[in-house]
A = this chain, B = another copy of it.
Amino acid sequence: MKWQMARRAEKMNPSVIREILKVTEKPGIISFAGGLPSPKTFPIDAMREASERVLRDDGKAALQYAASEGYAPLREWVAQDLLKQGMNVSPDQVLITTGSQQGLDLVAKILIDAGSRILVETPTYLGALQAFTPMEPVAVGVNSDEHGVDPDDLRAKVGTGADKARFVYLLPNFQNPTGRTMTEARRAAVAQVAIETGLPIIEDNPYGDLWFDAPPAPSLSSRHPEGSVYLGSFSKILAPGLRLGYLVAPPALYPKLLQAKQAADLHTPSFNQRVVAEVLKDGFIERHVPTIRALYKQQCEAMLAALDREMAGLGLTWNRPVGGMFLWVQLPQGLKAIPLLDKAVEKGVAFVPGSAFYAEGADESTLRLSFVTATVDQINTGMSALAAAIRESLSGQ
């Protein structure tokens, strides 16, 4: 039996990270690789109570088919919550998605033709590249520094006519993979380029609530509301296993995204939407999220202290994130992350080689470290093992 596959299927490949994560699941490995929120932060008791109340009081509706747009009280909560980011949106602009990953899939379907140019950060979120790939874009990396994309390079790469980029995909807060955050000035400059060139922004903000000392600057979407799609998620402030996210789109785009949503899975599980709406009642997030921030800040500081201690004199550089889940390491010249990973796993520690995150021109001497899954003790032990692997690699060069 010969299956004739679609052309796009040939372009889809197994996730490199997925393969790496399999290696890191070996027992005894301390993993800085996965982007798994700490399960300590999952509000299990609140979920138990909310599930019980939803099924007791409203079980029939919670288990029935529902509107593709999402559950109205949840859409209202989202619209209200976005005020804190300077966004003034109607609940009618909110579409509940099956994780924010689905928002990327819907955006790709609606905005990308085969061969369309799209612009992404350097490096960028791998899951977004995977969501866009089936629609066969040409993904172009915009030069980026510690504050995100360079506005001048962004302007230079917008293009015109049929060659004009369909959108720029940006993750301004505690970016995956680098952990970097766009400053107020950079946001203003990037929004200005987008407005002047009519370039749509796809703004992904799964980590925005995970700030350590101060919230990040207002969103890009607040500066360019008619030209932006904003993606949000409950995965990092409640729990990823619910697969609950949302997008906010301007009225010009919303109906097509809604049709794509309906065709994709009819609607996001009504049960999950109602349970989360129940959990969110009465200001739960305001009490809960500070506990996540405190935990991740402590673990980030432990990782930075361990880097300072263990990596002194080895020629590495790294950034100091002000929130989120990740930090980004530049290895000394000539040391490549993929061979280093083999040696690190031998010594009981894992990370993700940075080269997985580039649309083009991968820097093979970078790596991503997650500071949220491992405990402080594990961070100390793991970083010592990683330093040993690096020393060994350097001496063998």
Contacts and interface: CB of A to CB of B under 8 A. Distances in A.
Interface stretch (A147-155, A263-271, A318-326, A344-352): A263-271
Interface string A10-41: 00111100100000000000000011110100
B113 A263 contact: no
Interface in A178-204: 198, 200
Interface in A120-140: 127, 130-131, 133-135
B267 A1 contact: no
Contact of A6 (B52, B65, B99, B116): B116
A70 to B, nearest CB: 12
A236 to B, nearest CB: 11
A362 interface: no
A168 interface: no
Contacts of A332: none
Contacts of A105: 263-265
Interface stretch (A56-64, A87-95, A294-302): A56-64
Contact of A112 (B6, B68, B130, B260): B6
A255 B8 CA distance: 14
Interface string A84-120: 0000000000000111011001000111111010000
A12 B260 contact: yes
B241 A271 contact: yes
A239 interface: yes
A223 interface: no
Interface stretch (A42-50, A74-82, A374-382, A387-395): A42-50
Contacts of A14: 255, 259
Contacts of A255: 14
A47 to B, nearest CB: 6
Given A256-B9, A260-B134, A269 B266 contact: no
A327 to B, nearest CB: 20
A252 interface: yes
A270 to B, nearest CB: 4
Contacts of A98: 98, 243, 265, 268-269
Contact of A256 (B12, B51, B60): B12
A310 interface: no
Contact of A269 (B35, B111, B269): B269
A269 B256 contact: no
Contacts of A130: 259, 262-263
A268 B243 CA distance: 7
B44 A101 contact: no
Contacts of A97: 265
Contact of A42 (B63, B263, B264, B265): B63
Contact of A198 (B1, B44, B59, B135): B1
B52 A48 contact: yes
B241 A270 contact: yes
A166 B4 contact: yes
A63 B239 contact: yes
A156 interface: no
B3 A111 contact: yes
A131 B263 contact: yes
Given A66-B241, A227-B1, A42 B59 contact: yes
Nearest to A270: B241
Given A44-B55, A48-B52, A55-B51, A3 B200 contact: yes
A64 B21 CA distance: 15
Given A3-B111, A6-B111, A65-B235, 9 more contacts: A3-B227, A4-B111, A6-B110, A63-B238, A64-B239, A64-B240, A98-B268, A243-B266, A244-B269
9 contacts: A7-B113, A42-B59, A51-B55, A63-B238, A101-B266, A239-B271, A241-B269, A242-B269, A243-B266
